[in-house]
Chains A and B, each alone.
Chain A
Amino acid sequence: MLKLKEESNSDKMKDNKLPIMELNNINKEYKLGGGYVFKALADINFSVKEGEVLTILGHNGAGKSTLIKIIMGFTKPTTGSIKIFGTDTSKMLPKHVKAKIGYIPEVVHFYGNLSGIETMEFFGKLNNLYNKKLFEELLDKVGISGAANKKVVSYSKGMKQRLAFAVSRIKDPDIYIFDEPTSGMDPSAVNDFISLVRLINDNGKTILMTAHILPEIEDISNRICVILNGKITALGGIPELLEGLGLPTTINLRFKNGFKFEESWFENIKNFKLITDYKFNDKILSANIKFIETKRIKLINEIISKYHDDLADMSIKKPGLFEIFSHFSNKKVYND
């Protein structure tokens, strides 16, 4: 078991921010026919700290949505407990806790016979809010005020997602829970969504969401939690995970015509552990060099001093969410 995926109490307390949600040993099993048991979630332990953006990643069927359903009180864990704002919500999400949560389900459906503004009014009233001006402002902020009086049945998927976002903001909740909020969105809608998430996070709101691997998600997430086959395989900030995993950065060198590779030099810096691996491509006069991020400056200095007359171009690709996810998912497949 990797140390990275464990979250000790000292980790929880190491910054001043308090955990507003704590999941302890969550297990979810489904009984199948013939005495078989499907374990959807196993020993899920993590907490969500105030003001952070925590993103849960995982392949389809990994258990992400099941976990969100458990947190939202739609289903009960087989064993384990959840505390949200200090209240045990393992069996049911009480009203006073629900009042602090803004939620967008994986697939958003509204009452087709209501217009956008009527939908806002309906959910507003359910939350004891009757401020039409606020509802109009919220619709305006998500960019659908022009369609406020149109029936929701005529809305596109992206518009419904924006409406769901506006609805989730009615209560001005302390924590937002989004289940696959970007699924099915076009790139511009994803960008808009990310901007909205940034906006609410900048206002000190906490966000817990499940998502696919997207560069935009990487930019806004303070921490990520990788779930594979119902188990947490990684949990932490992206830089810490990269450091802990030792995932290499790649530098691509393109050389001028007539350049000849000196393998001995590359072997030499490899022996000095400046790089972890290298690969030549003689046809396009290119070299891919993998190295650990801490060696970056020293390596670049070495390359420049050695090849400053031969280099045509140089680019660096740092590992990110995709590499972290691939690392664990490949490992999982290999272990399976």
Chain B
Amino acid sequence: MINLRVVLTISKKEFIGRIKNISLFILIFILAVLSFAISYFGTSPSGLTGFHGVNVTIASLMSLSIYLIPLIAFILSYDSITGEEEDGTMPLLLSSSASRSEIYLGKLIGLIIVISIAIFVGYGISGITILSRGNVGSIISYFTFIFASILLGVSFLSIGLLVSSFTRSRTSSITISVFLWFFYVFIYDLLLIGILVATKGQAMFINNTVIGASMLLNPTDVYRLFTISFIHGLKGYYGLTSILTGRFVLDHFLLIVTYIMWIFLPMFMGAFIFHKKRY
């Protein structure tokens, strides 16, 4: 039986510990500056500057999210468990009446609060611009985008905490986290495109269905699909995912389920590993 007060105590401790992290402040600052810059100059390739509607801004900010939010999530979570082990605080924590499930859940919730605030603050400046210039539809679209970005952060926090639960040191945890970040953000889509190009889309087993389904195996792609699926008028602004317009991967229910899977599957796996972990 989970004791919510115990979970919230650990969440608060995790929150306070992480919010003081200087690298988090630097990343939030970068996110804020870049989001502001993108909201103004994101359409410069087409010869325009200034605010040109919420969809253009969101399409540009999505790329920023995909690079920075998983990175912030990994920086927050990579040493959440291994750090306690290396610092020697884990034995006392485990000897308290808190169960391992409560400790794990508490840590995840604390990190979720931190990343939610980071994303709100980071995208807040652009949000003010949209609030002042956009209509109600624009505001809803922007909040949908922020919500999707938070889900992206939460899914990577969940993955980061999983990594932290099965590794034994900060070094191995950060190494695996950086690899995963690089893999999901840079390599995975390149691999998919590479396969499509190499087979010229002719191979029997490489069709839009397979490629679409493969995109669901990458949380950053799920984020892209989720955002363009839920924000009306965004499809035209986005590259690879645009070709999947109307395909099954843009189904709302499928995307919600997939997102939930990307959050809860690593969470349950991590909690299970932490439960079994021996010291």
Asked if A and B are interacting partners, one says yes
Interface 1/0s, chain B 235-279, versus A by CB < 8 A?
Answer: 000000000000000000000000000000000000000010011
Q: With A69-B279, A122-B9, A126-B10 given, is the CB distance from A98 to B96 under 8 Å?
A: yes
Is A128 in contact with B6, judged by CB distance below 8 angstroms? Answer: yes
Contacts of A101 in B (CB 8 A): 95
Is B94 in contact with A110, judged by CB distance below 8 angstroms? Answer: no
Is A126 in contact with B98, judged by CB distance below 8 angstroms? Answer: yes
Is A126 in contact with B97, judged by CB distance below 8 angstroms? Answer: yes
Within A96-115, the residues touching B (CB, 8 Å) are 98-99, 101, 103, 105, 107-111, 113
- Is B47 positioned at the interface, with any CB of A under 8 Å from its CB? no
Is A127 in contact with B96, judged by CB distance below 8 angstroms? Answer: yes
- Is B172 positioned at the interface, with any CB of A under 8 Å from its CB? no
Q: In whole angstroms, what is the CA distance A95 to B101 when docked?
A: 11
Q: How far is the CB of A287 from chain B (nearest CB, A)?
A: 52
Q: With A109-B88, A110-B89 given, is the CB distance from A125 to B95 under 8 Å?
A: no
Q: How far is the CB of A136 from chain B (nearest CB, A)?
A: 19
Within B1-32, the residues touching A (CB, 8 Å) are 3, 5-6, 9-10, 13, 16-17, 20
Is B5 in contact with A125, judged by CB distance below 8 angstroms? Answer: yes
Option from B89, B99, B278 in Cβ contact (under 8 Å) with A95? B99
Is A126 in contact with B9, judged by CB distance below 8 angstroms? Answer: yes
Is A113 in contact with B16, judged by CB distance below 8 angstroms? Answer: yes
Contacts of B13 in A (CB 8 A): 111, 122
Residue of B nearest to A74 (CB): B279
Within A149-197, the residues touching B (CB, 8 Å) are 164, 167, 171
Residue of B nearest to A96 (CB): B97
Is A127 in contact with B97, judged by CB distance below 8 angstroms? Answer: yes
- Is A222 positioned at the interface, with any CB of B under 8 Å from its CB? no
Contacts of A278 in B (CB 8 A): none
Is B89 in contact with A109, judged by CB distance below 8 angstroms? Answer: yes
Contacts of A107 in B (CB 8 A): 88
Residue of A nearest to B95 (CB): A103
Q: Is the interface of A mostly helix, strand, loop or mixed?
A: loop
- Is A53 positioned at the interface, with any CB of B under 8 Å from its CB? no
Is B278 in contact with A105, judged by CB distance below 8 angstroms? Answer: no
Contacts of B16 in A (CB 8 A): 113
Interface size in chain A (residues, C-beta < 8 A): 28
Q: How far is the CB of B16 from chain A (nearest CB, A)?
A: 7
Within A77-109, the residues touching B (CB, 8 Å) are 92, 95, 98-99, 101, 103, 105, 107-109
Q: In whole angstroms, what is the CA distance A76 to B275 when docked?
A: 12
- Is A75 positioned at the interface, with any CB of B under 8 Å from its CB? yes
Among B6, B13, B95, the one with the most A-chain Cβ atoms within 10 Å of its Cβ is B95
Option from B5, B95, B275, B279 in Cβ contact (under 8 Å) with A98? B95
Contacts of A98 in B (CB 8 A): 95-97
Is B20 in contact with A128, judged by CB distance below 8 angstroms? Answer: no
- Is A208 positioned at the interface, with any CB of B under 8 Å from its CB? no
Contacts of A76 in B (CB 8 A): 278
Residue of B nearest to A119 (CB): B92
Interface 1/0s, chain B 63-89, versus A by CB < 8 A?
Answer: 000000000000000000000000111
Q: In whole angstroms, what is the CA distance A1 to B91 when docked?
A: 35
Q: How far is the CB of A129 from chain B (nearest CB, A)?
A: 9
Within B95-131, the residues touching A (CB, 8 Å) are 95-99
Option from B6, B17, B97 in Cβ contact (under 8 Å) with A111? B17
- Is A72 positioned at the interface, with any CB of B under 8 Å from its CB? yes
Is A164 in contact with B92, judged by CB distance below 8 angstroms? Answer: yes
Residue of B nearest to A75 (CB): B278
Contacts of A75 in B (CB 8 A): 278-279
Is B9 in contact with A72, judged by CB distance below 8 angstroms? Answer: no
Option from B3, B94, B96, B98 in Cβ contact (under 8 Å) with A74? B94
Is B279 in contact with A99, judged by CB distance below 8 angstroms? Answer: no
Residue of A nearest to B3 (CB): A128
- Is A328 positioned at the interface, with any CB of B under 8 Å from its CB? no
Q: How far is the CB of B154 from chain A (nearest CB, A)?
A: 24
Is B99 in contact with A108, judged by CB distance below 8 angstroms? Answer: no
Q: In whole angstroms, what is the CA distance A188 to B104 when docked?
A: 40
- Is A266 positioned at the interface, with any CB of B under 8 Å from its CB? no
Residue of A nearest to B17 (CB): A113
Q: In whole angstroms, what is the CA distance A97 to B228 when docked?
A: 51
Q: In whole angstroms, what is the CA distance A136 to B5 when docked?
A: 22
A-side interface residues toward B, CB under 8 Å?
69, 72-76, 92, 95, 98-99, 101, 103, 105, 107-111, 113, 122-123, 125-128, 164, 167, 171
B-side interface residues toward A, CB under 8 Å?
3, 5-6, 9-10, 13, 16-17, 20, 87-89, 91-99, 275, 278-279
16 pairs of residues in contact across A and B, judged by CB atoms under 8 Å? A72-B94, A72-B95, A73-B94, A74-B278, A75-B278, A75-B279, A101-B95, A103-B91, A103-B92, A109-B87, A113-B16, A113-B20, A126-B98, A127-B97, A128-B5, A128-B6
List 11 additional A-B contacts (Cβ < 8 Å) besides A103-B92, A126-B93: A72-B91, A72-B95, A73-B94, A92-B275, A95-B97, A98-B97, A105-B88, A110-B89, A110-B92, A113-B20, A122-B13
